[in-house]
Structure 1
Amino acid sequence: MEKRNSYIGPTLLALAVAVGIFIGGKLHFNDTPEKLFTTNSKKDKLNRLIDYIDYEYVDDIDTDSIVDVTVNNILGKLDPHSVYIPKDEMKQVSENMKGDFVGIGISFYMYRDTITVIRAIKNGPSYVSGIKPGDRILLANNDTLYGKRIPNNEIVSRLKGKAGTKVDLKIYRKSEDRRLNMTVTRDKVPIKSVDAYYMLTRDVGYLKINRFAESTHKEFKDALRKLKLRGAQKLVLDLRDNPGGYLGIAEKLADEFLVDDKLILFTKNKKGKIKRAFATKKGGFEDKPVYVLINERSASASEIIAGALQDNDVGTIVGRRSFGKGLVQREMDLGDGSAVRLTVSRYYTPTGRSIQRSYKNGHNKDYYQKFMDRYSSGELVSVDSIKVADSLKFKTPGGKIVYGGGGIIPDVFVPIGSNEEEAINSMDDTYEFFSRFIFEHLEKDRTQYMDYTKNEFLENFRVDDILFDQFIDFVLNRKIKLDFYAQEDRIKAYLKANIAEQLFSPNVAAQIKGKYDSMLSIVKELDEQEALDKSEEKTLGLND
């Protein structure tokens, strides 16, 4: 077999960096509308200028767009996380943070010129109606959806609607070579914030959260209950790449691990008013070992949880220094369907740390460039490259030294993978090469997987060299080069994981990829060492 050896540099790594991490907490804002919106000369000046342009300017001007630019420019002078949400984006933003939307419940690709179902969401409207993976949706209420390039957002809008309303679909089912008429009743469809959960070892559960939405705490509780039923006495809470979300939800999650009356965090506004949040008796995983995974893209609410546990000497924080966002935003309606998320306070961890990175030298460009500099400074490879200031040194009740400024530094540092390992992760997570390739592979013949159960697939299925070489061709055609054969085992595992996700569930996919996750390998080592230490202590105690 001819081997295709080439390379990939760090550029693809940098492209995968998630920026725009601005989602903050939802706090009560106590000022009345009368106090907030009293007339003053500054507001009059802006209003008059807009009126002059509306009525006197020589050409017709879209003043709405001018207002949008003005609002963005004003917020740009404040901090990197105060943001404007235009009217046309508000619905999607609200749905994402609410944790559900009303629709028919499918994930899909535009395959060639037709909407093709990847998977119907389990127990959702399409699943109940009998829609299957591979089905092509040709018409929705006699509206043609094939044969033309329709933007995804337009397709979604045609399939969405009010709960309880019906949509008549005409479907082509390739596996049976026939057309079907189906009526689907729209209903609430969850937008999951718990990506996956499974048993990592005999007594260690794994649970990954992608953001902190309104539904996150309930999803967490449901997943944790199932893990405990399977024997979980310890937990890995994966907050990598989690940009944050609602402050109140982060407090509830932290409360699950902290005993009654432990301080979770406190916030302070410009008037100096302090608001403290304490743990309650409701925790479902108190006094049990927990490992929290963070990386350079873990921000905001993720950092609240990591900081609350670290400062209370609970659990072990594993990974790399987090993003460094210690500002809290509140969403405020601007009256025309748009909104602003305005920074209203700073939050501090229980020891008094602020983990907000400096933004005094500029707004977006300088702020996010400093974040990107972590890739070149060596910080992601060696903990010794992390710059800390003695003036920001704090001590936990247990005597552990922690630092403020610029994020949460983990208790156990895990360096970033090689360029090629991270390139494969980017191809999977950011660019969906694996997902798209497997989708097209399944489209050719789904019957070859029909006899597999989930457990049989996990134990017995192996990606063969034919599928591996086909993937290499698929990637090379997209101008991506790397040493495929040096990463053969990892690539084959990711191919298997993507088949599992499209056939079964994200839980199965995460379980397969977890075997090639360096942080999870470290967690297993830490857990084994802890068990060994306890065994030795017990033996010494008996001998004494």
Structure 2
Amino acid sequence: MKNNLKYLPILLFGTLALGILIGGMLNFPTQSLTPKASLHKNKLDRLIDFIDNEYVDKVNTDSIVDVTVNSILGQLDPHSVYISPDEQEEVAQSMKGDFVGIGVNFYMYKDTVAVIMPVENGPSEKAGILPGDRILYAGKTKLFGRKLPTDSLFTKLKGAEGSAVQLTVFRKSTNKTFKVNVTRDIVPIKSVDVATMLNATVGYIRINRFAETTYDEFEDGLQRLKKRGAKEIVIDLRDNGGGYLEKAVEIADDFLSDKKLIVFTKNKKGRTDRTYATSGGSFENGKIDILINENSASASEILAGAIQDNDRGTIIGRRSFGKGLVQREMDFEDGSAVRLTIARYYTPTGRSIQKAYDKGKDDYFKDFDKRFESGELYEKDSIHIADTLKFRTPKGKIVYGGGGIVPDVFVPLEVEHGDEGVAYLMQSGAVSYFVFEQLDMHRNDFKGLSFEQFKDKMEKDEVYYVNFQKYLQRNGLELKIDKNRSLVKRYLAAEFARQLFGEEKYFDIVLPGDAMIKAVLEGKTN
């Protein structure tokens, strides 16, 4: 786990790459092949058959086909991609918004399935599974000590809706092993992390991706916030790599009045398709703030662009990723798929926010690296966009195309220059894993505490901060965190809260100290 501090943010950013790579999707009917395309297809089919039947050695022609497909797509844009059957199944499940299973969040901890927390009201919680439990067997299948890959584990724990599986569980707190029957059920995969109030009149909704269920989740959260007195809504799209564009359009429609342009697309034949808002949006008059960062892409940029270009709200944060290409998906019989770019999308003022990709995919995805080196994450003046890409909104505000949505209000990365790795580290899986280990050893220290008592304990107690420093050192991560002590303690406390009290309490701790939230609540300045 040895890492150079200079590259840590880039490595952490890389974990979002797949989501951004395939994050914008519009599905259209499959078209028939042209005569020229049919000729090429016939040539490829004949070559594969020739190799399969006549080549001197045994060859896996499936792998040759995959290499050929990837090679062809590699000559195109960065978002025309081949997706293997395993990846496609995972993506499809995530975008569907639910799956059938036992309903637990877990880690593979020392070769054992360790429960972080059962899903609220899910099958495992109903069966009495508790945080910290180890699942040793699913039926007669041994799950510990085998170094099973995650997809194999999911296969053992998933099943048909209504089917039962007997789990053998070890509970560390009582040092006992027992068996329990769990009936599999539909388990939601939330795309809206939280809908909560920041104060008496400002509501906050965080969207992590745009899936099939996103609009329904969003609308449910919005209505609850309105009932609680929300007159202003903050939509957090940070690190949201996109998803179904129509879901972003549906959300934009809630805020825009009838016949306002939301987005339009153009293909190579010049066909233009425009999408407009309809009447009766559920929040057409209240204030809107959209939070974005360098990992906000595709559908996130459509929503932000629609709000910005219609002078409907304020965009706060840092320049977004810059993905303005639309993909059509073609599925294959083996479960794999190709997503091919078939159009560009444009914001209402006519902006394409797609960044350049003429220097190849490697250079395209290293744009994130360049933003660090240029200082763009710390100073708005370091954002360089050609004057030819200026556009004006109906009220005369200047907006820019050609490389992401530039915010109205710039908020720099919330740590001192040179320590940017700390901010990214504290929002990574490493923190979740550390907190789980600590709770596994000290869970009784938190037993019976109310949330207020918990917060007081975390504020006064330094032991977990010190332990986290030791944890980083043990794993060879030479990262100095003392300059960012308050930030580190805040995110540690938030992760403890998540694993002890649930998702919403994580945000209750993180948001009051969040730099972009402060920009909303304390007055917006550039």
Q: Percent identity?
A: 51
- How far apart, CA to CA, are the structure 1 residues paired with 2:293 and 2:155? 35
Distance 1:308 1:39, change over 3 A: closer
Distance 1:26 1:492, change over 3 A: closer
Distance 1:98 1:349, change over 3 A: same
Measure how far apart 1:378 and its partner are: 2.0
Q: Does residue 342 of structure 1 match 2:311?
A: no
Report the equivalent of 2:479: 482
**Amino acid in the other structure paired with 2:176:** R
Report the equivalent of 2:159: 161
Matches within 5 A, 1:165-314: 165-314=163-312
> Residues 234 and 290 of structure 1 are in contact (CA less than 8 Å); yes or no, is this contact kept in structure 2?
yes
User: Residue 56 of structure 1 is aligned with which of 32, 54, 57?
Assistant: 54
Q: Secondary structure at 1:373's aligned position in 2?
A: helix
Answer with 39-48 or 256-265: which moved more: 39-48
Report the equivalent of 2:100: 102
User: Residue 7 of structure 2 is aligned with which of 6, 11, 14?
Assistant: 11
Measure how far apart 1:498 and its partner are: 1.1
Answer with 167-176 or 308-317: which moved more: 167-176
- How far apart, CA to CA, are the structure 2 residues paired with 1:101 and 1:65? 30
Measure how far apart 1:25 and its partner are: 4.3
Answer with 518-527 or 404-413: which moved more: 518-527
After superposition, give the CA deviation of every residue in 1:445-479 in whole Å (9 maximum; x if it has no partner). 32222212334434665351222222211111112
- How far apart, CA to CA, are the structure 1 residues paired with 2:67 and 2:125? 43
> Residues 107 and 121 of structure 1 are in contact (CA less than 8 Å); yes or no, is this contact kept in structure 2?
yes
Measure how far apart 1:242 and its partner are: 0.8
- How far apart, CA to CA, are the structure 1 residues paired with 2:458 and 2:23? 43
After superposition, give the CA deviation of every residue in 1:231-280 in whole Å (9 maximum; x if it has no partner). 22111111111111111111011112111111100111122111111111
After superposition, give the CA deviation of every residue in 1:502-543 in whole Å (9 maximum; x if it has no partner). 01112111221223321111111226x9xxxxxxxxxxxxxx
Q: Secondary structure at 1:116's aligned position in 2?
A: strand
Matches within 5 A, 1:122-521: 122-362=120-360, 364-416=361-413, 417-419=415-417, 422-430=420-428, 432-458=429-455, 461-521=458-518
Measure how far apart 1:40 and its partner are: 2.8
After superposition, give the CA deviation of every residue in 1:162-215 in whole Å (9 maximum; x if it has no partner). 111111111111222222211111111111111223221221111111111111
Q: Secondary structure at 1:89's aligned position in 2?
A: helix
**Amino acid in the other structure paired with 1:224:** L
**Amino acid in the other structure paired with 2:81:** V
Report the equivalent of 1:23: 22
Report the equivalent of 1:536: none
TM-score by length of 2: 0.94
> Residues 254 and 284 of structure 2 are in contact (CA less than 8 Å); yes or no, is this contact kept in structure 1?
yes
- How far apart, CA to CA, are the structure 1 residues paired with 2:385 and 2:493? 42
- How far apart, CA to CA, are the structure 2 residues paired with 1:48 and 1:463? 72
- How far apart, CA to CA, are the structure 1 residues paired with 2:310 and 2:96? 30
- Root-mean-square deviation (CA, aligned residues, Å) is 2.0
Distance 1:114 1:369, change over 3 A: closer
> Residues 463 and 496 of structure 1 are in contact (CA less than 8 Å); yes or no, is this contact kept in structure 2?
no
After superposition, give the CA deviation of every residue in 1:272-304 in whole Å (9 maximum; x if it has no partner). 111111111242221111110111111100000
> Residues 422 and 479 of structure 2 are in contact (CA less than 8 Å); yes or no, is this contact kept in structure 1?
no
- How far apart, CA to CA, are the structure 2 residues paired with 1:459 and 1:290? 33
**Amino acid in the other structure paired with 1:434:** V
Q: Secondary structure at 1:303's aligned position in 2?
A: helix
- How far apart, CA to CA, are the structure 1 residues paired with 2:59 and 2:234? 55
Distance 1:393 1:315, change over 3 A: same
Distance 1:37 1:228, change over 3 A: farther
- How far apart, CA to CA, are the structure 1 residues paired with 2:25 and 2:86? 22
After superposition, give the CA deviation of every residue in 1:91-121 in whole Å (9 maximum; x if it has no partner). 1111011111111110111222321110000
After superposition, give the CA deviation of every residue in 1:108-164 in whole Å (9 maximum; x if it has no partner). 112223211100000111111111101111111111111232222211111011111
**Amino acid in the other structure paired with 2:9:** L
Q: Secondary structure at 1:496's aligned position in 2?
A: helix
- How far apart, CA to CA, are the structure 1 residues paired with 2:485 and 2:24? 43
Report the equivalent of 2:521: 524
Measure how far apart 1:37 and its partner are: 8.7
Measure how far apart 1:17 and its partner are: 2.0
**Amino acid in the other structure paired with 2:434:** F
- How far apart, CA to CA, are the structure 2 residues paired with 1:396 and 1:421? 37
- How far apart, CA to CA, are the structure 2 residues paired with 1:119 and 1:77? 44
| Count of residues in correspondence between the two structures | 519
Report the equivalent of 2:112: 114
Unaligned runs of 5+ in 1: 1-6, 530-544
Measure how far apart 1:68 and its partner are: 0.5
Unaligned runs of 5+ in 2: none
Q: Secondary structure at 1:168's aligned position in 2?
A: strand
